[in-house]
């Protein structure tokens, strides 16, 4: 196994950002403080805090936050002694103003996220992050939906704007280990900055995919305690750390403390069970953005159609993050077609 040096691997815990999707963006300040404090005590490197759709995501379209995300960022910063607070920003949702405010509150890192073909919209935000003294990383979402060559092309753009690392982001949980390996290897061979990997567990291969990424030299790795995230969740942090320890990695994070916080602090926050059910399985199968699941389930109830049919249709249409409005359109069209067929 071609292991990167342990000191080079940096883990970002995303339960307080991607996990926001799983709780319909209803985190309280007290919950954020408790999770951030426990993660910091365990030795976590970075903790990402923001609306599930990034800075500025608290809208009717994406889901309103219970608590303003800037309050949550400030709370997490106050609780951490060694972990750095990170944020996510999707250009078109978050703004330079949002980024500046998060930086003032103490956020030290931003991942600027775009669809895998739209890296050019990240330039302004990466530049601004570097000006603010933040670590600025590129985050190429829906990486399964484009060729490896296209992904490399877009990663090079982000690097040219000043990104200090670029992520292969499996937003749909659709990639398989050999596909992750191919993409990460290509980026490692083409870039002189770090490569990262962000996985979702919709096909139950998030840990395997993360290990494959690491074998090919990825040093920026994401996880979410108890899999708390969109769809079936992300790479489960405490499980990943246990496997990494078995393989000889020691990244300075206390496994027992991570196990305890997963069960005692994060567990009570989870609504229902964070497991692979039919909806999240279809996300990975159809290659649809993981945060679309709850929207599709709501639209299915509204129009009395199977959410799986909605997701399959969205996959055929190759919708991307930011096109949540299409979910209702698809549900309405499917309902009309069903009614027409019933009259024949």
Mean pLDDT along residues 202-209: 96
- Between 274 and 25, name the one with better pLDDT: 25
Q: Among the listed ranges 41-50, 243-252, 281-290, 313-322, which one has the minimum average pLDDT value?
A: 313-322
17 is in an annotated binding site: yes
pLDDT average, residue stretch 296-324: 88
Pick the residue with more confidence: 33 or 321? 33
Angle between helices 307-317 and 292-303 (to 10 degrees): 120
State the pLDDT confidence band at 1, using cuts at 50, 70 and 90.
very low
Question: What pLDDT is recorded for position 319?
Answer: 82
| Tokens coding 135 | 């670590």
Q: Looking at residues 66-90, what average pLDDT do you find?
A: 98
- Topology agreement, domain 7-268 and domain 291-343: no
**Residues catalogued as catalytic:** 21
Q: Report d(CA 159, CA 174) in Å as an integer.
A: 25
* Residue 66 pLDDT greater than 90, yes or no: yes
Please report, rounded to a whole number, the percentage of residues in the chain having pLDDT higher than 70: 98
Residue linked to tokens 């060559």: 149
Does the annotation place 18 within a ligand binding site? yes
Residue 258 contacts residue 224 (beta carbons within 8 Å): no
Average pLDDT over residues 16-29: 95
289 belongs to an annotated ligand binding site: yes
Residue 130 annotated as lining a ligand binding site: no
Domain boundaries, the chain: 7-268, 291-343
Average pLDDT, the chain: 94
pLDDT level of residue 317 (50, 70, 90 thresholds): confident
Q: What percent of the chain has pLDDT over 90?
A: 81
| Residue-level pLDDT at 30 | 97
The matching CATH number, chosen from 1.10.3720.10, 3.40.50.10540, 3.90.79.10, 3.20.20.70, for 7-268 is 3.20.20.70
* Residue 198 marked ligand-binding: yes
- Report d(CA 281, CA 83) in Å as an integer: 33
Q: 110, 99 in Cβ contact below 8 A?
A: yes
What pLDDT, in 10s, does the model give residues 121-180?
999 999 999 999 999 999 999 999 999 999 999 999 999 999 999 999 999 999 999 999
Nearest to 317 by CA among 288, 280, 278: 288
pLDDT at residue 291 in the model: 81
**pLDDT above 70 for 251:** yes
Written out in words, the top-level CATH class of the domain with range 291-343 is mainly alpha
Give the residue-averaged pLDDT of 105-119: 97
């Amino acid at each position: 196994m071609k292991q990167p040096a342990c000191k080079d691997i940096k883990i970002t815990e995303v339960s307080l950002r991607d996990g926001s999707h799983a709780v319909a963006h209803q985190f309280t300040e007290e919950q954020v403080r408790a999770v951030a404090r426990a993660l910091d005590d365990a030795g976590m490197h970075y903790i990402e805090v923001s609306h599930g759709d990034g800075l500025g995501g608290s809208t009717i379209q994406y889901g309103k936050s219970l608590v303003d995300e800037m309050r949550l960022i400030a709370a997490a910063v106050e609780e951490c002694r060694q972990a750095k607070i990170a944020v996510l920003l999707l250009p078109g949702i978050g703004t330079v103003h949002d980024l500046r405010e998060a930086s003032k509150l103490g956020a030290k890192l931003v991942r600027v996220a775009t669809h895998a073909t739209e890296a050019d919209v990240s330039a302004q935000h990466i530049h601004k992050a570097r000006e603010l003294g933040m670590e600025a990383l590129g985050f190429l979402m829906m990486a399964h939906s484009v060729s490896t060559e296209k992904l490399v092309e877009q990663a090079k753009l982000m690097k040219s704007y000043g990104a200090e690392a670029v992520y292969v982001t499996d937003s749909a949980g659709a990639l398989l280990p050999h596909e992750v390996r191919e993409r990460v290897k290509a980026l490692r061979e083409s870039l002189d900055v770090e490569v990262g990997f962000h996985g979702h567990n919709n096909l139950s291969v998030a840990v395997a995919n993360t290990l494959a990424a690491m074998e090919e030299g990825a040093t920026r790795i994401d996880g979410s305690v108890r899999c708390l995230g969109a769809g079936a969740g992300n790479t489960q942090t405490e499980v990943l750390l246990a496997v990494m320890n078995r393989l000889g990695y020691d990244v300075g994070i206390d496994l027992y403390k991570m196990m305890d916080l997963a069960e005692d602090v994060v567990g009570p926050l989870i609504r229902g069970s964070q497991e692979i059910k039919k909806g999240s399985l279809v996300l990975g199968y159809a290659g649809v953005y993981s945060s679309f699941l709850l929207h599709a389930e709501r639209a299915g109830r509204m129009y009395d159609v199977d959410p799986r049919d909605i997701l399959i249709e969205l996959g055929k249409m190759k919708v991307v993050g930011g096109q949540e409005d299409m979910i209702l359109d698809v549900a309405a069209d499917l309902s009309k077609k069903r009614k027409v067929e019933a009259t024949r």
